[in-house]
Structure 1
Amino acid sequence: MNYDVKTVEEYLNAIPKDRRPYVEKLRDIIKENLPEGFKEEISYGMIGFVVPHDIYPNGYHVNPELPLPFINIASQKNFIALYHSGIYTSPELMEWFKKEYSERITTKLDMGKSCIRFKNPKKIPFDLIADLATKMTVKDWISLYEQKRNKIN
């Protein structure tokens, strides 16, 4: 779902009240565990953690005026979503995540390319998301992003 908001606080106030505690906890876990350099802001209408222009002036290739996105959290119609660009671009990270998920969580992983869907917020594996957040620094993400971009061009 798209919310017409400008700040993270506005986003949190706009989502369904029953989801807010889970989205807030997910946000807090990510903020506490992300390596230094990522910045929290509204990105693509969601809570986003991005590489700001002062670190990566090129921005996002799709729209260079936007900072380079990394992780987004969204309250969608039927689930809470975590979008992780690093998982999408790093097969090693994807394999690590799938393995860890299967070892820690009894429910089936519901995942697209970069989107991890949590239909039951009570079953969000916050400890696994905390571990995932630590796996890639800003420098790592920029390097991987540029490698993948150069292969496309």
Structure 2
Amino acid sequence: MQSTASTPELYLAELPEERQHIMTALRDVIRENLPAGFEEVMSYGMLGYAVPHTLYPAGYHCDPKQPLPFMSIASQKRHIAVYHMGMYADEKLLDWFKEEYSKHSNTKLDMGKSCIRFKKPEQVPLALIGELASKMTPQEWVQVYESQIKR
């Protein structure tokens, strides 16, 4: 489910009522914990957080007109998704998250490459997502990203 909303506020307003609270809470916890320098954007039909062109002029290699994506959240048809590109590129961060997850949730971790899926809003471990958001600065993300792209 890709949204055509042009702002985060419009994105949240168009969500089904039963998803608005958790998606707003996710947005809030990410914004409270994300290191300075990331910007909130609408990207690929999701609410995202990216390294702006002012900090990384090259932009995203798949589409240099786009800022470098870092984190996104989305209300999908059957789940709530949190995407974190840093975990996809940094194995230590991924290992940390997997270990911490069981301390914050009694559900089995449902995860793809950079996507964490939650079938029910009450299953989203907000404190853990906030801590995850705080783990990498824009500059650190650019270094990790470039080390992976230039392989």
Q: TM-score range by the shorter chain?
A: over 0.9
Task: Trace 1:117-136 onto structure 2 (pairs within 5 A).
Answer: 117-136=117-136
Shift of 1:148: 0.2
Distance 2:125 2:103 in 1: 11
Supply the distance in 2 between the matched residues of 1:104 and 1:9 (Cα, whole angstroms): 28
Query: What secondary structure sits across from 1:57 in the alignment?
Result: coil
The code of the aligned residue for 2:86 comes to G
Q: Which amino acid is 2:37 matched to?
A: G
- How far did residue 103 of structure 1 move? 2.4
Query: Once the 2 structures are TM-superposed, how far is the Cα of residue 84 of structure 1 from its aligned partner?
Result: 0.3
Aligned partner of residue 113 in structure 2, secondary structure: coil
Tell me the residue number matched to 2:32.
32
Q: Percent identity?
A: 52
Counterpart of 1:25 in structure 2: which amino acid? A
Aligned residues: 151
Q: Pairwise mapping of residues 60-139 of structure 1 onto structure 2 (< 5 A)?
A: 60-139=60-139
Residue aligning to 2:49: 49
Gaps of 5+ in 2: none
Q: Partners in 1 of 2:60 and 2:16 — Cα distance?
A: 30
Q: Tell me the secondary structure at the aligned position of residue 19 of structure 1.
A: helix
Q: Which whole-Å CA distance do the structure 1 matches of 2:12 and 2:66 have between them?
A: 22
C-alpha distance in structure 2 between counterparts of 1:4 and 1:139, whole Å = 30
Q: Is 1:4 aligned to 2:4, yes or no?
A: yes
2:114 alignment partner AA: S
Question: For the residues of structure 1 that align with 2:3 and 2:18, how far apart are their CA atoms?
Answer: 16
Normalised to the residue count of structure 1, the TM-score between the two structures is 0.97
Q: Quick one: distance in 1 between partners of 2:5 and 2:107?
A: 33
Deviations 1:74-124 (A, max 9, x none): 000001100000010000000000000022211100000000001011111
